[in-house]
Structure 1
Amino acid sequence: MIVGTGPHGSAFSGRVGWGARPALLVIDLCRAYTEPGGPFALPDPGPAVAATAELVAAARARGHPVVWTAVRYAAGLEDGGLFVHKVPALACFVEDAPGDWGALALQPGPGEPVVVKQYASAFFGTSLASTLHAAGVDTVVVAGVSTSGCVRATAMDALNCGFRPQVVRQACADRTPALHDNNLADLDAKYADVVDLPEALAHL
């Protein structure tokens, strides 16, 4: 939905578009979200996992960078700050925690970096921006979970860091369809381009 502002045109929903050098970011696609009984189990993760796998295959086939993220905390959650107090279930990502919930649902390929993070955004407190800039990346294709959490935070920070964020609708998921759809609508209005899977595959 475009919000009008009279004679000055629309306030939101411009497009950042695609640049010349995309990279795929797979955000926190791990067992905690994709497996039944996981601490953050999604109601139907299968379609998002399958769509992400298509994106990964396309990026690899064309030689585009693929970067994965994972959440890890030290024993005692000493590096978790206030985030782990707000979301106590993050304790499942402590090193050596039972259940291996932090294991990725899709496997990174040789040479594909896994960025370990402690907060929602893949850019906050990590080397991700420097890694992407050094590779000449100007566009980040964002997939993974959850739409309202780490996907949203990463897409916003991608824009802040000077990248063109493209969030793939079918390759993200959340704990309810309403959360997924509402956050995609807001991201598309203000911080990123929300695109469908065929468009993303064509650009990769």
Structure 2
Amino acid sequence: MTDAAFPSQALLVVDVQKAGVTGDRAVPGAAALLERTADLIARARRSGALVVHLQNDGAPGSGDEPHTPGWALHLPVETGPKEFVIRKTRDDGFAETSLGSVLGTAGVGSLAVCGVMSEMCVQATARTALALGYRVVLPHDAHATQDIPAAPGISEAVPAAVVSRVAAWAISADADVTARAEGVTFASPSPGPQSGMSS
């Protein structure tokens, strides 16, 4: 892991909703995750980078069921021409959403991804961004997940920190996995059709 070698023109904040970062269901280390994510958002805003908050619409009865307390975004949003909330129903933030269009219109060619859960929505969204030709940085200390419980006959419980590390490792050949969120830098995108993307 190294510091990010290129500035990110957008920050994707994945599913930082109350169900995942507060109360009994909070991911381990939620307080530190929120502090780092808030710092990423503040620095992205100051640099003129795009900030996109992805908000998962969970199934009925789930912790992030729409319009329940757990569904709410935990960190404040400053909605405007460079900050958006995009709702989604699948792990991949690009699937059946306007995310690709928003990034393309803004001329984004590079982005940082943070949030929860590491091996689900964070990884799925980062994978699609890579497949679409974006340069992606994943700060290791700014995404998190839950422990995986033991499965008889398969494995013992897997600690959340190990799950997050494996999730990042699985895309590290293509993404820039940096050790610390503080190493991520930001820049304003240059609007233009398919800027920074492969055809």
Length-normalised TM-score, structure 2:
0.78
Q: Does the aligned pair in 2 maintain the 1:142–1:168 contact within 8 Å?
A: yes
**Higher relative contact order structure (alpha carbons within 8 Å, sequence separation ≥ 6):** 2
The change in CA–CA distance for 1:102 and 1:203 in structure 2 (over 3 A counts) is same
**Where does residue 34 of structure 1 map in the other structure?**
21
Give the secondary structure class of the aligned counterpart of 2:54: strand
The answer to whether 1:106 aligns with 2:75 is yes
The AA in structure 1 aligned to 2:117 is S
Whether 2:12 is the aligned partner of 1:48: answer no
For 1:188, the equivalent position in structure 2 comes to 172
Across the aligned residues of Structure 1 and Structure 2, the Cα RMSD in angstroms comes to 2.1
Q: Distance in 2 between matches of 1:33 and 1:192?
A: 25
For 2:110, the aligned partner's letter is T
Q: Which protein has the bigger helix share?
A: 1
Deviation, structure 1 residue 72? 1.7
Question: Do 1:17 and 1:164's aligned partners in 2 also have CA atoms closer than 8 Å?
Answer: no
1:120 deviates by: 0.3
SS at match of 2:93: coil
Equivalenced residues, count: 169
Per the alignment, residue 153 of structure 2 pairs with none
What's the counterpart of residue 9 of structure 1? none
Q: Does 1:177 align with 2:161?
A: yes
The aligned residue for residue 68 of structure 1 is 53
TM score, norm. by length of structure 1: 0.76
Cα separation, 2, equivalents of 1:188 and 1:96:
35
Residues 43 and 186 of structure 2 are in contact (CA less than 8 Å); yes or no, is this contact kept in structure 1?
no
Task: Give the ranges of 4+ consecutive aligned residues of structure 1 lying more than 6 Å apart after TM superposition.
Answer: none
The structure that has the greater radius of gyration is 1
C-alpha offsets along residues 68-120 of structure 1, whole Å, 9 cap, x if unaligned? 000125xx85xxxxxxxxxxx7x3333344xx101111111131211100000
